[in-house]
Structure 1
């Protein structure tokens, strides 16, 4: 069995069966929402370097920590080339950021890793990839053929004018998107890392404190099933915690990105209970699907 790992940065991740929990709350202020690249490098050396060589899904708490996927993916893919990365997220996480790296800019860094063949960001409904924010998207990974956006209901016509239209896949509904993705994952089998930010889900599935997408639980479960035997590693973010940044500029930036920071205690508790139940179901399915290294060892 692949032991799940909880990087307990904010206390938001509930109990997960057989998980190894690392108390990392002393890192919260330093890495939450964003940080310098040197700080994330230090996190990678101190924390990621202490993880078991083989482990299961990593749960990181709030979506404010999604940029921590970068060192996790770098470590997990270090021994394997031609790794595909699939990211379920309501946002592209490929946006320009002037202060190092943050939860909305890390995908570019992953696409630059030489061992990564392609990154698919799936389930985007955010206007981050619309005309009004086009200039904020890093174009190099889109132009190089290493990054694709899979979106729903966003006008991305601007991509044609900049010659990156081949990196955009737009769908009329989530069922069609999920079916098309599953067909791709089954047809083009390769070692894959899966990262799930639960803001990709409709609020009817689970609540986060970021703007959310429209995907349902079975859409993500369908993709996990399609990755059976190909899954090299995985992580989950998108849990809910309330936090006041010591840094005024981080408070300003997170509020400007539309994050909900004022959640009544009873509401927060209710949301977290739903999050915990969904986490366990996702971990169970991911654990059943993870097995690429086992396949390689038996070959």
Structure 2
């Protein structure tokens, strides 16, 4: 890795992120891990973010933020706000956001915010020009889940879903067809996304949830997509010179919720984070190798 690279930050939410070269590690206290994981109220998220901010190095002095399981992906919202504040983005000089994810993360969650609803919050920020969520293969964007989406950002042209192999014809019935781009495979999706990003150079925040990758690339706690590591590298390369900030989530980890409602919500989303699999060490070694590869690509784009 380039000796001039800004060191990464590990937001140690669950102990799942292995050592990274030159890292600055900020440990989330145990009480916050249960409180924030999967979802929480808005005040609780703000309190957690303020505590983390107090222990993080200045924005200009660090690189990519790694933050454990995708159950914590909603922490990207305050990280993006931190990027906006540090770089002085405004409605006249907005930030673009690209999210690699197997899920839209724009779903309804009446109890505050969770790992599947935070994109709406970011798309509503006046300092954000557009959010692209790319790599979706989940049925979350199929007709059966249409009622669960926040449609405002899609309708306003502030949010675009990029998917592979999902029937999204329902979007046309609601006049949302332009916000849905569907492709035959990951190669075609990434080519089109890279062309779009390169055609309009713009300061961009990139958030990577590794559940967008195929399971043989990185095993995660969630159902997974079809992207390869080289696809993420291609997206980073398309943003070279315009990458304003980045984060990576989607580690595989074990956690048993103390609260019954979180156990229920997690199970309803197809998770079983309380079960420790014999293959966990191998999966985490695979994850660690991928983290180094992503770190090199993101550092090269900064």
Pairwise TM-score range, normalised by the shorter structure = over 0.9
- In the alignment, which residue of structure 2 is the partner of 1:296? none
Post-superposition offset of 1:22: 1.0
Distance in structure 1 (CA, Å) of the matches to 2:16 and 2:179:
35
Partner of 2:216: 204
Give the drift of 1:94.
0.2
CA RMSD of aligned residues (A): 1.0
Aligned partners of 1:50 and 1:76: how far apart in 2? Answer: 16
Distance 2:205 2:142 in 1: 27
The one of 175, 186, 201 aligned to 1:189: 201
Q: Where do 5+ consecutive residues of structure 1 fail to align?
A: 291-299
8 Å Cα contact 2:255-2:274 kept in structure 1: no
Superposed counterparts of 1:220-235, under 5 Å: 220-235=232-247
SS of 2:16's equivalent in the other structure is coil
1:43: how far off?
1.5
Residue 181 of structure 2: aligned partner: 169
1:60 equivalent in structure 2: 67
Q: Is the 8 A contact 1:210 1:260 kept in 2?
A: no
What does 1:105-254 correspond to in 2, within 5 Å?
105-254=117-266
- 2:104 pairs, out of 88, 92, 95, with 92
C-alpha distance in structure 1 between counterparts of 2:100 and 2:59, whole Å = 25
Which deviates more, 110-119 or 76-85? 76-85
Structure 1, residues 34-61: CA drift from partner, whole Å, max 9, x if none?
A: 0000011111211124322311000000
* CA distance 1:178–1:12, change in 2 (3 Å): same
Q: In the alignment, does 2:84 pair up with 1:77?
A: yes
Judging changes above 3 Å, is the alpha-carbon distance between structure 1 residues 213 and 274 closer, same or farther for their aligned structure 2 residues?
same
User: How far does the alpha carbon of each residue in 1:125-166 deviate from its partner, in whole angstroms, 9 at most, with x for none?
Assistant: 000000000000100010011000000111111101111111
1:279 and 1:260 map into 2 onto residues whose CA distance is 23
Secondary structure at the residue paired with 2:279?
helix
TM-score, normalization by structure 1: 0.95
SS across alignment from 2:59? coil
Question: What is the TM-score of this pair, normalised by structure 2?
Answer: 0.94
Distance 2:184 2:229 in 1: 18
After TM superposition, give the deviation of residue 253 of structure 1 in Å. Answer: 0.2
- CA distance in 2: counterparts of 1:265 and 1:141, whole angstroms: 39
Equivalent residues of 1:129, 1:154 under 8 A apart: yes
Cross-structure match for 2:9: 5
Could you list the runs of 4 or more consecutive aligned residues of structure 1 that deviate by over 3 angstroms after TM superposition? 262-265
Task: Decide which moves more: 246-255 or 75-84.
Answer: 75-84
Aligned residues, how many? 290
The residue correspondences of 1:238-277 to structure 2 (distance < 5 A) are 238-261=250-273, 263-277=275-289
Instruction: Give the superposition deviation at 1:263.
Output: 4.2
